[in-house]
Amino acid sequence: AAAAAAGASSSDDTAAAAAAAAAERGADGSTSSAKRADVTFFGAMLWARNVSGTRVLTSGKQQTVAGITFADYGCHISGYPHPYITAAAALGATKEDVDVFVKRLVRAYRELRKKWAKAAAGPAAASAGEKQ
């Protein structure tokens, strides 16, 4: 099972992740709030699939706490150029627990890629598909 799950990180998935991250950034390197919301929706997709302990982080959120302003609040470093995901694991987690996590992660990511592909194709492509 682990080998099958590991196969999900193929060059196609890696290339798709890189393309998605590149598309996430504007020409000036910034990330729009609409795009950040779309990427962070991945965290909601995981939660809906009973995957807890994950966070999807993007740059661009500024927060002031006790008079100190943090750029890219919630991220591990300011100015990181791509959205990323963190995952927590508890002591006592088994190999089977990790295998289930990876399967759900890959399944949700594939669904998100389909959503992005459908959105990129636009309404014309969607209506052309309905006519066939």
pLDDT at 50: 86
Structure token pair of residue 122: 């636009």
Q: Which long-range contacts (CB under 8 A, 24 or more apart) does 65-70 make?
A: none
Task: Write the CA distances from 5 to 31, 76, 94, integer angstroms.
Answer: 31, 27, 15
Q: What confidence tier does 14 reach under pLDDT thresholds 50, 70, 90?
A: very low
pLDDT at 60: 81
Structure token pair of residue 47: 């939660």
Give CA–CA dist 85/105, Å, rounded: 11
Q: What confidence tier does 59 reach under pLDDT thresholds 50, 70, 90?
A: confident
- Residue 18 pLDDT exceeds 60: no
Task: Write the CA distances from 50 to 4, 37, 45, 93, integer angstroms.
Answer: 20, 20, 9, 15
Q: Which long-range contacts (CB under 8 A, 24 or more apart) does 19-22 make?
A: 20/113, 20/116, 21/81, 21/82, 21/83
Model confidence, pTM = 0.59
- Mean pLDDT of the region 1-22: 43
Give CA–CA dist 80/58, Å, rounded: 8
- Residue 81 pLDDT exceeds 70: yes
91-108 pLDDT, tens digit each: 999 999 999 999 999 999
Q: What confidence tier does 61 reach under pLDDT thresholds 50, 70, 90?
A: confident
Q: What confidence tier does 26 reach under pLDDT thresholds 50, 70, 90?
A: very low
